[in-house]
Amino acid sequence: MKGNQDDPAQWRVACAVIMAVGLVALISVLPLKNLTGGRFSDFNLLADVVKTVDSLEHADTIDVLHDNNIDPLLRKAIAESRQSIAATPDSMSVITAGMESNDSSYADSRDTVNVIPEAAPSVRNDDGIVAIEDYTATGEGLRNMREALLSGRLVRIAVVGDSYIEGDIFTQDLRERLQDRFGGQGVGYVGMHTDFPGFRRSVRQGGSGWDTHRQGEKGTSSSRIGLSQHYFTPGAGATALSTFKGDKKLRHVDQWEISRFLFIAPEGATVTMTDGDGEKHTSTYSPSNSIQTMEIHKLTGSLTLSTSTPSIIGLGVWLESLSGISVECMSTRGFSGLSLGSLNVGLCRQIDGLLGYDLIILEFGLNAMSASQTDYSVYSREMVKVIRHLRECHPSASILLMGVGDRGQKKNGEVHSMATVGNMISAQRDAARQAGCLFWDIREAQGGYDAVVEWSRKGLIGKDYTHMSHKGGKVLAEEFYNALMLLLQ
């Protein structure tokens, strides 16, 4: 053992390890997001460890207003609600407290016309399906989609959510099943840039030169924000380039019939799109503050888009077919869904006029939930406003709100469902009742209370006991597909 201390090779290995750890630690403290103009997210060597400890072991000791895992918009809404209650005279406190209840049997008479139906918590039917709950006034929540399917035109579904569906998890398999049955090709919406090009399996994406602008970020113009909650601009002096290639491992996404680019060109623009045969399509557009489109109607399995116009605002690319079904994944990490309440109505109406959405599915809740918070009535009320605003933005679309998936909490070495997951689901179901939309209970479809235990054992959920794996997304997509078909009958 004494000779090992003088072994130069071992010292070199030790020094290399120390230097590598030091380098990673240095990167952890650098503001990568600011230094790279948003192309790379900040990295923290201990982020996963710290997050696991905070969320699984000590989350029940953190007040929601100081929990950085909670969407800042929700923290603001809760703080304002608390201030309002504190400032309310005692004679009104009882009424206000009642409105804070998760029972939410109250209704705002100014906004409510129809009688709000009673909640009917999901249970599996004789066929083992967790049904979609219909709280619409007519009880025909999927009428628009049903009529669209009969018309023979393309039926468009947007799944808007958080990191739970990031990378097209769940949506890729739902898309596959629906296109198996009703036809359709391509993945629909794709952003102009991604920081994680290899994570998504349904389309291989690359490129350079684009700056990404997210809803709520400093410098982001709310007038340019639509349902995807992103837009893209060329970096200073850069030629913006995006590449898209279909994937053969999943059905129906290796080729598509229409390549469509939506953009705003306040100073005019020149755009080049190159299809899979290498044919270049170049168009020049006049200045306009309205949305313009460039389209290629040609079967292709790849697309390259480029522009050197510095003032162009890219809203996204749509890769799809003329008929069948398009299922779009629009995920934004860290969002609770509340930001959808401030979408630009005029912009959304323009997009809807060009594309036409038949069903908008909302998957949120992870970034609004903690082990210390049992009352989610503020979140429920805010989500009612969001749903009503979405109807303003996309008046022909049906709205379906999903209840949050099961989330684990580790205590004394054992993992069980976080105790407050049920509270969040009740609040989300109540929001669907108040807003008169559809609702589907993800956790019930996963197996109910403690589903996280079995899902973790089968590799359907990650080590954070929160996010689904691709394998888990496939299982959940099958459950939802069955529920959707049941309601469409």
Give the 3-state secondary structure of residue 66.
Answer: helix
**390 and 354 housed in the same domain:** yes
**174 and 139 housed in the same domain:** yes
**54 and 162 housed in the same domain:** no
The secondary structure of 178-241 as a DSSP string is HHHHH---S-EEE-S--S-TTT-SSEEEEEESEEEEETTSTT--GGG--TT-EEEEEPTTPPEE
CB atoms within 10 A of CB 468: 23
CB atoms within 10 A of CB 275: 17
CB atoms within 10 A of CB 465: 22
DSSP H helices in 30-71: 32-35, 47-52
Distances in whole angstroms, Cα of residue 424 to Cα of each of 31, 116, 168: 34, 20, 24
> What domain range is 440 assigned to?
68-184+323-489
**358 and 456 housed in the same domain:** yes
Half-sphere exposure at residue 468, Cβ-oriented, CA atoms within 13 angstroms: 26
pLDDT at 78: 87
**351 and 474 housed in the same domain:** yes
pLDDT at 189: 98
**246 and 309 housed in the same domain:** yes
CB atoms within 10 A of CB 151: 10
pLDDT at 20: 57
**168 and 200 housed in the same domain:** no
Give the 3-state secondary structure of residue 62.
Answer: coil
pLDDT at 41: 47
Tens digits of pLDDT across the chain (489 residues): 444 445 666 666 566 656 655 665 555 545 554 444 444 444 444 343 334 434 444 555 567 777 878 888 888 888 888 887 777 665 444 333 333 334 433 333 333 334 677 777 777 888 899 999 999 999 999 988 999 999 999 999 999 999 999 999 999 999 999 999 999 999 999 999 998 888 899 999 999 999 999 999 999 999 999 999 999 999 988 899 999 999 999 999 999 999 999 999 999 999 999 999 999 999 999 999 999 999 999 999 999 999 999 999 999 999 999 999 999 999 999 999 999 999 999 999 999 999 999 999 999 999 999 998 999 999 999 999 999 999 999 999 999 999 999 999 988 889 999 999 999 999 999 999 999 999 999 999 999 999 999 999 999 999 999 999 999 999 999 999 999 999 998
The secondary structure of 344-380 as a DSSP string is -HHHHHHHHHHT--SEEEEE--GGG--TT----HHHH
**98 and 157 housed in the same domain:** yes
Domain boundary among 263, 293, 322: 322
- List the 325-331 sheet strands across, edge first: 133-134, 438-441, 398-403, 359-363, 155-161, 325-331
Domain boundary among 281, 304, 322: 322
How far, in whole angstroms, is CA 380 from its chain's centroid?
A: 18
**486 and 349 housed in the same domain:** yes
Q: What is the CATH number of the domain that holds 101?
A: 3.40.50.1110
Domain boundary among 322, 357, 391: 322
How many domains is the chain partitioned into structurally? 3
**179 and 308 housed in the same domain:** no
Q: What backbone torsions phi and psi does residue 76 show, to the nearest 5 degrees?
A: -65, -45
pLDDT at 37: 45
Please tell me whether the overall predicted TM-score, pTM, comes out greater than 0.85 for this model: no
pLDDT at 79: 85
**343 and 310 housed in the same domain:** no
Give the containing element (helix H, strand E) for 318.
strand 313-320
Q: What is the CATH number of the domain that holds 206?
A: 2.60.120.1360
**193 and 262 housed in the same domain:** yes
